[in-house]
Amino acid sequence: MIRIIKTVLPLLILALLLSGAVFGFSHFENLDGFEALWMTVTTVLTIGFGDLIPVTTEGRILAILLVPLCIILFTYFMGLIIGFIVEFNISPLRRSQSMERKIKRMNKHIIVCGFNPMSRTIIDRIQEEKRDFVLVDPDEAKCEPYIEKFNIVIADPCEDDVLRRAGIEKAEGLITSLSDAENILIIMSAREMAPGIRITSCAERLESESKLIRAGADKVINPERLGGTRMALSILKPAAMDYIDRVFISDQDNFKINEFLITEGSNLIGVSIRNAEIRNRYDLSVMAVKRAGQIYTSQLADFTLKTNDMLIVFGKEDNLNSFSEASHADQI
């Protein structure tokens, strides 16, 4: 808005000034409309052909005022034009440098490689969880509308240097949703640069899943098979699918499923789930416990918790936050 005012207001002033000059020369010098316009143009441009010159005192005063005022306005417009040109060339560089500084400060963020409808859904979910993320895609036209909204590296994620710019060494997770060949290259590079990072990849074809796993992906998802399975189960097992949707997808009643890591200092260490009274105190359901790569889902009441156990808990967001604060368990 300020930029528009800075541009439009001087234009209005210039238009009024030139219109006033035409009227003034017509009135003071007794000229017709075209002759008054001609005198205004030659005066403003200081070309002075000599065919028409002000002969009255009023006309000469008008010319004296007109020339410097127009020079000031023209100089102002030249400054605006130069400013636009400089900003057009420098702004992308400055914005890129600012983005890279911001990414360098990130820790435990998620890198999303490829911008398409699927990754747009992925980003929406990440944002709902209020997690930091970096989008990497080489298509500037697709990314441009989101430059101010997302942290974006506009470059080919198959290149090692690009993954470093996205902060691969400090990232917690990597999601790839490009072609199978590109996904394999990205996964291999990421696994080499950040051995501990968790990698999830999309598979275009079912036969590519094993290759993506061998390349280093922790989880491979085929959208067609997953979507087809969900659609079938929505008819075959509608109640079960409604429950899964409510737990994992829907925001109905503000229910969520979260993971809690039992770390040193947590008051849950050495306590069974029954004695922790997680359901009674916080109205939460412990769905599973992950320990040393194994997931336990049955007879959890007598399960005694240890350091590095992972609790998978379902309930309302406020209750999940209260449980995290009271138990000193890290919410993942």
| Assigned token pair, 21 | 């000059």
Report the amino acid identity of residue 8: V
The string of DSSP codes covering 57-125 is HHHHHHHHHHHHHHHHHHHHHHHHHHHHHHHHHHHHHHHHHHHHHHHHT--S-EEEE--SHHHHHHHHH
- What confidence score (pLDDT) does residue 213 get? 94
Global pTM value: 0.64
Architecture of domain 106-226: 3-Layer(aba) Sandwich (3.40)
- What confidence score (pLDDT) does residue 75 get? 79
Among 50-64, 141-155, 314-328, whose mean pLDDT is lowest? 50-64
Residue 22 clears pLDDT 90, i.e. is over it:
no
- What confidence score (pLDDT) does residue 215 get? 93
For residues 255-278, one letter each, b for 16 or more C-beta atoms within 10 angstroms of the residue's C-beta and e for the rest, the string is: bbebebebeeebebbebebeebeb
CATH 1.10.287.70 for domain 2-101, yes or no, is yes
- What confidence score (pLDDT) does residue 59 get? 67
- What confidence score (pLDDT) does residue 89 get? 55
Query: Per mean pLDDT, which of 13-27, 37-51, 255-269 is the most reliable?
Result: 255-269
Residue 271 clears pLDDT 60, i.e. is over it:
yes
Which tens digits make up the pLDDT trace of 250-266? 666 677 888 999 888 88
- How many other CB atoms sit within 10 Å of the CB of residue 193? 14
CA atoms lying within 13 Å on the CB side of residue 191 = 17
Please name the residue that has the structure tokens 């909204």.
149
Please name the residue that has the structure tokens 């500084």.
101
Query: Residue ranges per domain, the chain?
Result: 2-101, 106-226, 254-331
- What confidence score (pLDDT) does residue 115 get? 93
Which tens digits make up the pLDDT trace of 59-111? 667 766 777 777 777 777 777 777 676 665 555 656 667 778 888 899 999 99
Q: Report d(CA 31, CA 49) in Å as an integer.
A: 17
- What confidence score (pLDDT) does residue 288 get? 92
Residue 267 clears pLDDT 90, i.e. is over it:
no
Mean pLDDT, to the nearest integer, of 305-326? 88
Mean pLDDT, to the nearest integer, of 105-127? 93
Which tens digits make up the pLDDT trace of 188-246? 999 999 999 999 999 999 899 999 999 999 999 999 888 899 899 899 999 988 877 77
- How many other CB atoms sit within 10 Å of the CB of residue 305? 22
Fold adopted by 254-331:
Alpha-Beta Plaits (3.30.70)
Maximal C-alpha separation, the chain: 108
